[in-house]
Amino acid sequence: MPGMHSTADWATPFERGNGNQTSTWQEGIAFHQRLAAAFPQWLRFEAIGHSDGGWPLHAGVFSADGVFDPQPVKAAGRAVFFNNNGIHPGEPEGIDACMALVRDLCLSAEKRAALGGTVLVYIAVYNVDGALNRGSWSRANQNGPEAFGFRGNARHLDLNRDFTKADSLNARCFARLFTHWDPDVMVDTHTSNGADYQHVVTLIATQPDKLGGRCGEHLRQQMLPALQAQMAASGFAMCPYVNPVAELPEDGIADFLDTPRFSTGYAALHHCIGFMPETHMLKPFAARYHGTRALLDAALAHTSAHGSAIRAARAADRAAVAAGAAVALDWALDRTHSRPVAFAGYQARRVPSAIGPHQRLQYDRSAPWQRDIPYFDRYQPTASVTPPRGYLLPQAWHDVALRLQAHGAPMHRATRAAQLRAQAYRVEQFEKRPQPFEGRHLHTRLQLQTEDTIAAVAEGDWLLPLGGPHDRLVIELLEPLGADSFFRWAFFDSVLDRKEGFSDYIFEDRAAALLAAEPGLMARFRAWQAGQPPGAGGGDSDADGQAALAWIHAQAHAEPACGRVPVWRLLELPGDLLASGPRPGLAV
């Protein structure tokens, strides 16, 4: 009989199966709970909250010396490695790989010694609702396993689009755990869709230019080459995520721009190096599992060996932002710069379709090839901002405050009313996605005007001072031009329309009287009218008349809040205004 602590006794459902099976949520949670009960000196595993569907969301902490508090871990300069699994439960390799990784750490003194002072924090199954919605039908292009979970959660949200807007309870739990431990490196496990090729594992890393600073340098110059070498040595020659610039990979691939809605982009807001391994959906599940485990091992080993350097890089980057360095808010691919990267593909061809009179794309696995292809791995900022002293968020916007609190932003209630020098944004033009995207109509184009103003602070309003480790997160969430800002995600859309209107047959007489009484208004009106095309105020149709009345009404009956983003950039922030914690009756 094997002993209590033998590997055989701790075999995972994947290891006991036929190589094409993944653990159910119940099996996975029970496995981690059993490990934590058997090895409490190294492992804690507990519920940290609930999913939107009401199920417990579990996280574990493994520490080789039994220190489970982030404060002494950070004070000692120890690294923290974060592993997230099952965000898309139809892509479950990481769920099983994490089970075996934690098991091996519990059973092997050698592996614990190699871990050193690094602490492993992990979420066993992030999308609990999707994991329980189990079947074998939802991943049309995937080769196994036999049964798996569904991409959407109980609210039909893709949780890997929800990290900043945090509409799900899962995202708020994640943010609190992530902020609590402030990890140095994160791996979020996935399976790809897309082109066919020979690689089992491709990798999305936090885009190094967007990560920026010394962390971006360490990622590009040291960590990525080290992971490539280690994966090749493990039998899984890895390439960057196959994000073609045209139809076929051989035409070139581009670095994936992981905006903060994604896990790796969210990690970058915390100056954390993030990875999203994407195993190839057409490879057997067993190969994808072993490739995921190899990547987890390689990333954890690099973190343990270079934790001090990574932590020093993070501290330097945070200090630079706190000192006022410009923060980029959005990015564009630099198509003038590429470098060769080794790629192993299959010959692509066009052949007649069996379902209609058209040609279809086909990859010929009997014709493999290997060569260098162009890799466009540089991004340039398209919008940047210099940090202010802090931000003012009026207490009316409690849904935004709720999310900022979950994200760990430094928030204070104003202790009294005040008038502060500030800047405000007014929206001049915007365009929204015509179709809903993850429960919201995302702003795709935005044109703003900046106004110097005096911000009226009311007692109890939220003040967010800058000058600390969360600066980048706060800036990218509250600056409207941020790629995944709260404004982009439509949290402030109620300010984009006027609340009062007019009846044209009544207002016509008042408009004429206003123009006659105010020569300056008449001059501005004629100048505006001369610049409008027919149908928008520059012609003689009914539509032109309505547009003209609307213009005059807006001048005479201005609504200052209309079109103004209700977040102020504070140019001064006296310390005596700041109070920690919620005000009674106004907690969020």
Contact assessment for residue 56 and residue 128, using Cβ atoms and an 8 Å cutoff: yes
Q: Which residue has the tokens 């508090």?
A: 69
Which DSSP state fits 564? B
Q: Report the Cα 421 to chain-centroid distance in Å.
A: 32
Query: How far apart are the C-alpha atoms of 489 and 391, rounded to whole Å?
Result: 19
pTM for this entry: 0.92
Of residues 48, 105, 81, 62, the one with CA closest to residue 275: 81
Q: Which residue has the tokens 């505006």?
A: 528
- Widest distance between CA atoms in the chain: 101
Query: How far apart are the C-alpha atoms of 541 and 534, rounded to whole Å?
Result: 8
Which DSSP state fits 231? H
- Phi/psi at 433 (5° precision): -60, 130
What residue ranges define each of the domains in the chain, with the CATH number in brackets? 8-325 (3.40.630.10), 346-380 (no CATH), 387-497+562-580 (no CATH), 504-556 (no CATH)
Query: How far apart are the C-alpha atoms of 276 and 87, rounded to whole Å?
Result: 11
Q: What is each CA distance from 486 to 73, 95, 401, 430, 491, in whole angstroms?
A: 33, 31, 11, 14, 6
Residues 6+ apart with CB under 8 A from 585: none
Specify the pairing of strand 578-580 against strand 418-432.
unpaired
Q: Encoding tokens for residue 464?
A: 């967010």
User: Which stretches of the chain score pLDDT less than 50?
Assistant: 1-3, 582-588
E strand intervals along 377-476: 379-385, 390-393, 412-414, 418-432, 443-457, 462-465
Query: How far apart are the C-alpha atoms of 50 and 409, rounded to whole Å?
Result: 22
240-285 per-position pLDDT tens digit: 999 999 999 999 999 999 999 999 999 999 999 999 999 999 999 9
Which DSSP state fits 440? B
Q: Encoding tokens for residue 129?
A: 């609702």
Q: Which residue has the tokens 């890799």?
A: 375
> What single string gives the DSSP state of each residue in 492-534?
TGGGGS-S----HHHHHHHHHHHHHH-HHHHHHHHHHHHTSPT
Contact assessment for residue 205 and residue 274, using Cβ atoms and an 8 Å cutoff: yes
Cα-based torsion angle of the residue sequence 56, 57, 62, 68 in order, rounded to the nearest 10 degrees: -80
